[in-house]
Amino acid sequence: MRLIIYTGKGGTGKTVTSCATGLKLARRGHRTLVLSADPAHTLADAFMMPEVGHEPGQVAENLVAQQIDPVTEMSKQYSTILSYMASVFSAKGIDETLAYEIAMLPGMTQLFSLLKIEEVSHTGEFDAVVLDMPASGEALRYLYFPKLVGSIGRKLTGLAGLFSGFAKVFQPLAKIPAPSRSVIQSEVDLMDRLDSLAEIIKDSNVTSLRLVANPDTFSIENAKRAMMSASLYGINVDMAVVNKIMAGSSDAYYDRWASFQHGKVEEAKANFYPLPVKEVQLYATELRGMEMLAKHGDQLFGDEDPAKVFYRGQPYAFEKDGAAAIRMTVQVPFSGKDDFAIERYGDSLTLSVKTAAGKIVNIVPLPVATSGMKLARARLEDRRLLVLFEK
């Protein structure tokens, strides 16, 4: 099975790009499933078919679409644990409704959507799965839970233990309800599924993360951060899509927008280097329906198979240098001969490079581990930015 995940900022075109990819895969003979975890009925809107819902629905030959219902997915695995955690909070005098709210960690809904993939992978029903993932990468960190909790934790503490321990810290004398056997069993099962999901997602022959951005600073920065996180988590990113690019115009107002966007496309290419970048124009009408999705798919992939792995490698690499330093290497399309300036703003670096095409800004998101460190040195080599952080 091949898994393609599209991520990026809201409104950039993840859903339509997922559907277009799915359609092209299906037409090339791959048995394809398009999954969306969006709360709204976005797949139905994109395919212009009323029947796409929480049940798998046939959209075309070889093509099935399904809107994941996070509540259903969650209750399959998490309801026992959730009610236990809620009881821990209730024992602290927190209102039960609120307790449920707190026990749902951020990004958890997406995690349960990802678990759907683990389930699908066992059935062997599909050659390709395309996942339309709403927010960038938040859920991916949970894939590290099994490793974090470890083998002892699996038997004894796990998530529920983590929460009761958490509650203990705040009120050491209060009584914490002990987790029952079924709570512990649910946890072991959940950890096993997360483990198997992590295997799928970290296998670069199976999974590709693809970034979707528009020619604007915000969505490029958002996608760049997803690219950095993916590198940290060992997930292969194989393509970036810059969507909704305006064509030039005889009208001064629109033409100014077009030339601004042209600059942003160059910036996107520098930022997503060395990934292949696909450029897609802003169509004259809203992109939806089979015909436009097919056209979008052709523009993205031409004669190539969307199931191909378009790039393999590590745009970002991190290396610990003793206890007090981190070395970061970022691939950039510049060399040491280029005139550059580097500045740190909070959790990112900006690298401004003067090129023949004008000034290009590369955003370099930093991992949390560097937050307590200072930028000691930065050097531009041949197509690599080498940065040293020290305590």
Contact 268, 242 (CB under 8 A): yes
User: 11 is in the binding site of which of Mg ion, ligand ADP, none (Cβ under 5 to 8 A by kind)?
Assistant: ligand ADP
Q: By C-alpha distance, which of 29, 211, 6, 16 is closest to 128?
A: 29
Among 210, 224, 244, 264, which residue interacts with ligand ADP (rule: CB under 6 A)? 244
Taking residues 266 to 305 in sequence order and writing x for each that binds Mg ion by CB under 5 A, - otherwise, the string is: ----------------------------------------
Nearest C-alpha neighbor of 209 from the set 296, 61, 282, 313: 313
Angle at 193 between CA 128 and CA 152, to 5 degrees: 150
Q: Tell me the residue number closest to Mg ion, measured at CB.
A: 15
Q: 330, 316 in Cβ contact below 8 A?
A: yes
CB of 54 to ligand ADP, least distance (A): 18
Q: Name the residue nearer to ligand ADP (CB basis): 161 or 225.
A: 225
State which residue, 114 or 293, has the beta carbon closest to ligand ADP.
Answer: 293
Give the separation between CA 230 and CA 140, rounded to whole angstroms: 8
Is residue 165 a contact residue for ligand ADP (CB under 6 A)?
no
| Least separation in angstroms between CB 42 and Mg ion | 5
Interface residue with ligand ADP, options 13, 70, 137, 306 (CB under 6 A): 13
- Tokens 């998101």 correspond to 365
Pick one of 31, 41, 269, 288: the residue that binds ligand ADP (CB under 6 A).
Answer: 288
Residue 13 or 146: the one with the smaller Cβ distance to Mg ion is 13
- Residue 345 carries which DSSP code? E
Quick check: 39 binds ligand ADP (CB under 6 A)? no
User: Which partner, ligand ADP, Mg ion, none, binds residue 118 by CB below 5 to 8 Å per kind?
Assistant: none
Both tokens of residue 47? 């395919």
The count of chain residues that interact with ligand ADP, using the rule CB under 6 A, is: 16
The position carrying tokens 């066992």 is 122
| 390 beta partners | 325, 374
DSSP state of 387: E
- Closest of 12, 19, 10 to residue 292, by C-alpha: 19
Residue 60's binding partner among ligand ADP, Mg ion, none (Cβ under 5 to 8 angstroms by kind) is none
Q: Which is nearer to ligand ADP, 56 or 289 (CB)?
A: 289
Q: Select from 11-19, 105-113, 330-338, 348-356 the region that touches Mg ion (CB under 5 A).
A: 11-19
Distance between start and end Cα atoms, the chain: 44
Residue from 7, 12, 15, 362 that binds Mg ion (CB under 5 A)? 15
Q: Which two tokens stand for residue 329?
A: 């290497």
Q: Residues touching Mg ion: how many (CB under 5 A)?
A: 3
The least distance separating Mg ion from the CB of residue 305, rounded to whole angstroms, comes to 24
Could you say which of 12, 66, 136, 186 contacts ligand ADP (CB under 6 A)?
A: 12
Q: Does 287 bind ligand ADP (CB under 6 A)?
A: yes
Among 59, 280, 349, 385, binds ligand ADP (CB under 6 A): 280
- Cβ at position 42, least distance to ligand ADP in Å: 6
DSSP E strands: which ranges in the chain?
2-8, 32-36, 57-60, 63-67, 128-132, 207-213, 237-245, 277-281, 316-320, 325-331, 339-345, 348-355, 358-365, 374-381, 384-390
Question: Beta partners for 358?
Answer: 355
Q: Using alpha carbons, list the distances in angstroms from residue 142 to 23, 93, 174, 181, 185.
A: 30, 28, 29, 23, 19
Point out which span in 13-21, 105-113, 216-224, 302-310 binds ligand ADP (CB under 6 A).
13-21
> Using CB under 5 A, which of 7, 12, 21, 42 touches Mg ion?
42
Contacts with Mg ion by CB under 5 A lie at 15, 38, 42
**Residues making contact with ligand ADP (CB under 6 A):** 10-16, 42, 243-244, 280, 282-283, 286-288
